[in-house]
Amino acid sequence: MGKSILRGAAALGLACLVFATLAPDAGAQAVPYFEGVRQAENPEEVATVLEILILLTVLTLAPSILVLMTAFTRIVIVLSFVSRALATQNLPPTQVIVGLSLILTFLVMQPTFREIKDEALVPYLDEEITQKEMFRRAEKPMRNFMFQHTRREDVKLFIDLTEFDPGKPKGEVRRSDIPTYILVPAFVISELTRAFQMGFALFLPFVVIDMVVAATLISMGMLVLPPILISLPFKILLFVLVDGWRLVVGSLIQSFY
């Protein structure tokens, strides 16, 4: 083992000696030139690269924007409440819940997305406006949607937390005076509140069924039999008879109008 260590050390020393011998020649060689990579010659080229970087950053943040600034939060939480209330062991699957939530989100946000396309995206692609102007125009429809579904007390909460001063009396503060970094968390809190309110209303009938079944089994002396085993078919039957998915989806869509 000692001979192996000595041989390894000798080989390492020989490699270092060879590298030290060839290093000056390697350093004297010119840096290889890659065709297609060159130094920017004017400010316009640098600005174009920066625009591409900004656009890629926005695309990277697109999932977060979809979750936090659209109807997705309320829809996916309410549908998850329905799945939990039925207690059908991950039926429907999570992938189906998320996929349906995305489709319903695009359905609800279609007017907003159409306005963004007409007012911001199309003029930018036609080179009528700059990228900065495009983002400014695209922000306006999203802010209008969020303001429409944000409670005043939630906006006030984040104004107080950030100690933001609009510079105007309390009664004269307009929507345009409130920055987006305050509006987004206020919108998310409002959506979570509404989603849990709707989820509670959906959960309550199924809880009543569980309580009735449990009380019946206890009165009959069947303490060993799990109540969920008996209540599950009744909950599914009730949900099917009232056409539950149509009612839930219809109520979700109407809650945004």
Q: Is residue 51 part of a domain?
A: no
Closest CA to 195 of 113, 75, 94, 107: 75
∠ Cα 208 212 216 (to 5°): 170
Per-residue model confidence (pLDDT) at position 78:
92
In a domain, 70, yes or no: yes
Q: Give the residue numbers spanning the domain of 177.
A: 66-254
pLDDT in tens, 51-92: 677 767 767 777 777 788 889 999 999 999 988 888 887 778
Q: Please, which pLDDT band fits residue 18 given cuts at 50, 70 and 90?
A: very low
Residue 175 in any domain: the answer is yes
- Cis peptide upstream of residue 111 (ω within 30 degrees of 0): no
pLDDT at 196 over 90: yes
> Is-contact 188 175, C-beta < 8 A?
no
Predicted local confidence at residue 88, as pLDDT = 80
Q: Is residue 123 part of a domain?
A: yes
* 8 A C-beta contact, residue 77 and residue 199: yes
Structural domain includes residue 23: no
Q: Do 73 and 191 meet the contact criterion of CB atoms below 8 Å apart?
A: yes
pTM: 0.71
> Does position 30 have pLDDT exceeding 50, yes or no?
no
Q: Is residue 80 assigned to a domain?
A: yes
In a domain, 124, yes or no: yes
Q: How confident is the model at residue 188 (pLDDT cuts 50, 70, 90)?
A: very high
* Cα gap 100→95, rounded to integer Å: 8
Question: Is residue 35 situated within a structural domain?
Answer: no
Q: What is the number of structural domains in the chain?
A: 1
- pLDDT tens-digit readout, 218-257: 888 777 777 777 888 888 888 888 888 999 999 999 988 8
